[in-house]
Amino acid sequence: MAKNKTIFVCQECAYESLKWLGKCPNCNSWNSMVEETKIVGNSSSNISSNSLPKSILNIRSSEYERFDTGITELNRVLGGGIVKGSLTLISGAPGIGKSTLLLQTANSISKKYGKVLYVSGEESEEQIKMRGDRLEAISGELYIVSETNVEKIEEHIENTKPVFVIIDSIQTLFKHSITSAPGSVSQVRESSNDIMRIGKTKGIPFFIVAHVTKQGELAGPRVLEHMVDTVLSFEGERTEEFRILRTIKNRFGTTSEIGVFEMRESGLEEVLNPSAVFLEETGFQNEGSVVIGIMEGTRPILIEIQALVSETKAVMPRRTTVGIDSSRLNLILAVLEKKLKVPFYNCDVYVNVVGGLNIEGTFADLGLALALISSVKSKETNLEKLIVFGEIGLTGEVRPVAFGDRIVNEAEKMGFKNIIIPIRNKEKVKNKNINIIGVSSLREAINKVF
Ligand SMILES: Nc1ncnc2c1ncn2[C@@H]1O[C@H](COP(=O)(O)OP(=O)(O)OP(=O)(O)O)[C@@H](O)[C@H]1O
Ligand SMILES: [Mg+2]
């Protein structure tokens, strides 16, 4: 028999307690416990209950069947398109363009494969139509409904029989059987469970929008991230037109790919050659500026990195970074101070990656070090059209990076004249139209450039 029980649930981490607590003992957040009613003894499972264990040899498998979304950048991030029956979460700050991206995707899929259902809990049908007109996303097979009740949504799916469903957003959905408000942990979890069940049993792929908190975490429970197959994050500065789509988790592909878009009035335009766009406004040989090459997934990207070092009397000098890990900056500053005797203790240091990209990994180390030296010495680099990549070790040595040859190819293609790379990467490249300078230490690189 099902029985109701009152519990308190942390809205950050889904921790459950029998009494109210000011601070969640699990995730330490304050004031996050909310009273909810739990139905005991009536747990529903996600996958049909009549399935029996089978030998793995007897399970029918086909290569993942994928929908081509018609958007190359999105296909790339998903690992080659949308897998049938998969559940994808797309998160991003307010107004970044989630609904825009999904409406464009829905339109393109409906033109190619048939009915697509776009369920919005945030906007009316007219509002979506207006956006559709602006984006020219108007296919006859694109169905729109404003609905927040999960049971009703299931009915609509039953009746419309779409090949693809979009839910905008999970935080607006609710089930009558749960008493707490939409957006609470229980509602989000139960609604997602239902959606997953519908998707997996009918083989329909779902895209679900999820809002993020100010800190950039998924609002509501982290459990959501574990349930879905793929988590995408849509990032960018709202004041700039570039948007970057990144994979956080993917059960059907790598997580290192990014997709680059530009926000226009007519919607999101794909940026198929990000290097060209990121370098558009670069004035080469500027003080404190160096162009670097990095790999984002399987794609080389060339981007400008800027450093500004200015003297200060403050006891605690500033270290401000945008687009680069601040611990990486601290490490490089320490190497420069210790091995090359360049003082930074009395300087504020600002570092910026142009274009709003977040650089991960160690590709940027050498370029960042050169930009810092350039700013501190107030000297520009003396090599024309220069590009740099390489990792710096704690002894001041320059270490090779993976896929260096691809970055060199890209740099040659983009018309760079000089490239400074780790000596061990140089052994593997044979490009003719670019001057390749191999270095084994930071000191050697600095001597070549200044
Ligand atoms: N007429 C327009 N011209 C250019 N850009 C526009 C125009 N209208 C909207 N935009 C862009 O679209 C963005 C809003 O897009 P969208 O509604 O898809 O965002 P969202 O992530 O779904 O937001 P929310 O979190 O509110 O649901 C705006 O921030 C703006 O950059
Ligand atoms: Mg929206």
Does residue 290 form part of some domain? yes
Q: How far is CA 186 from CA 34, 182, 245, 343, in A?
A: 10, 9, 28, 54
Task: Answer for the pair 223, 84: CB distance below 8 angstroms, yes or no.
Answer: no
Report the interhelical angle of 185-202 vs 150-160 (nearest 10°).
20
Tally the domains of the chain: 3
Q: Are residues 194 and 319 in the same domain?
A: no
Nearest atom in ligand 1 to 95's CA: 23
Question: Is 285 a residue whose pLDDT tops 90?
Answer: no
Q: Are residues 185 and 224 in the same domain?
A: yes
Q: Are residues 15 and 81 in the same domain?
A: no
Model confidence, pTM = 0.80
169 upstream amide cis, omega within 30 of 0: yes
Q: How far is CA 440 from CA 11, 33, 420, in A?
A: 51, 55, 10
Of 272, 301, 327, the position where a domain reaches its end is 272
Euclidean distance between CA atoms 133 and 125, whole angstroms = 12
Among candidates 97, 88, 67, which has minimal Cα distance to 206? 88
Contacts of 347 (CB under 8 A, 6+ apart): 309, 310, 311, 312, 317, 376
Question: Residue 2's pLDDT is what?
Answer: 55
Q: What is the mean pLDDT of the chain?
A: 88
Q: Are residues 266 and 401 in the same domain?
A: no
Nearest CA to ligand 1 atom 3: 265
Among candidates 337, 317, 321, which has minimal Cα distance to 392? 337
Dihedral pair phi/psi, residue 11, rounded to 5°:
-80, -10
Q: Are residues 210 and 355 in the same domain?
A: no
Of 248, 272, 296, the position where a domain reaches its end is 272
Choose one of 263, 268, 269 to mutate for the ligand 1 pocket test, by most ligand atoms within 8 angstroms of C-beta: 263
Measured in Å, residue 200 CA sits from the centre of ligand 2 at 25
Does residue 104 form part of some domain? yes
Of 208, 240, 272, the position where a domain reaches its end is 272
Domain of residue 14 covers: 4-39
Tens of pLDDT, residue by residue over 243-270, are 889 888 999 888 878 899 999 999 999 9
Choose one of 100, 237, 244 to mutate for the ligand 1 pocket test, by most ligand atoms within 8 angstroms of C-beta: 100
Tens of pLDDT, residue by residue over 117-169, are 999 999 999 999 999 999 987 889 999 999 999 999 999 999 999 999 999 98
DSSP state of 58: G
| Burial state string for 85-96 with b = 16 or more CB within 10 A and e = fewer than 16 | bbbbbbbbbeeb
In 70-126, DSSP assigns E strands to 82-83, 87-92, 116-120
Does residue 58 form part of some domain? no
Q: Are residues 31 and 87 in the same domain?
A: no
Question: Is 210 a residue whose pLDDT tops 60?
Answer: yes
Read off the tokens for 152: 């009703």
Mean pLDDT score, 7-15: 83
